[in-house]
Amino acid sequence: MKYFILSYLLLISFLGISQSNDKTELYKNYREDQFYASLTYNILNLKPNGLSQSGFSTGFHFGFIRDMPINANRDFALGLGLGLSSNSYNQNLLITEDNKEYLFEIINEDEINVSQNKFTTYLVELPFEIRWRTSTATDYNFWRIYAGFKVGYVFYNSTKFRSNAGDVKLFNIDAFNQLQYGLTLSVGYGTWNFHAYYGLNPIFNEESILNGEQLDIASFKVGLMFYIL
């Protein structure tokens, strides 16, 4: 009987050590939030007089961020990634082309019945984040605050205007700044996270002129961010 008890105690001790080693290894190697998807409402910031938005301007963003913990508890980390982004802006700015020169003017909607007017950009993005969270290797519902910086390259753009006076469609025009960058913030608990992007440079380049002044509108995006391990 005593041999049975001794064997039982040895087995329990072995299992306890094994589980402890497994847990240590789990904590040593786990990473958080390496895939992301986001839906945003896109707002034009620094609008000149007369320029306004209409309808719902949307943004869709997804990608991969490499999570790199920087402390023993792995609740502080750096994140560096690669993603794709599509952004549309519905507004009353008419963009036309004349002899390879792009012209900008505010639409007089009292004279023209407009059914659609928007421009859209498609970007490859490089997000960088400084990450804090209350997660553990086994807890998937936790608080997070991720602040960072994002650089995007506009690889394709389009403008679409439809009205009773005629249609104008332009593709891959040179008026857009190909390099877009700004600050990012994601805050939330579990699946649902508030997300914001504040553009630091104009959407259009310095040659884009409206009413004799440079068109300096920038992007401000607010919405939801979803992270997947």
Domain ranges, ordered by start, for the chain: 1-30, 32-228
pLDDT the model gives residue 141: 79
**Contact predicate 118/162, CB 8 Å:** no
Per-residue pLDDT, 212:
87
Amino acid at 205: N
**Per-residue pLDDT at 125:** 98
- Residue 93 structure tokens: 């700015």
> How confident is the model at residue 29, as a pLDDT?
67
Question: pTM for this one?
Answer: 0.85
Q: What is the pLDDT along the chain (229 residues), one digit of tens a residue?
A: 444 444 433 333 444 444 444 444 545 667 777 899 999 999 999 999 999 998 889 999 999 999 999 998 888 999 999 999 999 999 999 999 988 889 999 998 778 888 899 999 999 999 999 999 998 777 777 899 999 999 999 999 999 999 988 899 999 999 999 999 999 999 999 888 999 999 999 999 999 999 889 999 999 999 999 988 7
The one-letter amino acid code at 61 reads H
Planar angle of CA 194, 197, 200, nearest 5 degrees: 160
What is the phi/psi pair of residue 165, to 5°? -90, -5
Buried residues in 201-225 as b, exposed as e (16+ CB within 10 A):
ebbbbeebebeeeebbbbbbbebbb
Q: Please give the CATH architecture assigned to the domain spanning 32-228.
A: Beta Barrel (2.40)
**Alpha-carbon span 116 to 103, nearest angstrom:** 18
pLDDT given at position 38: 96
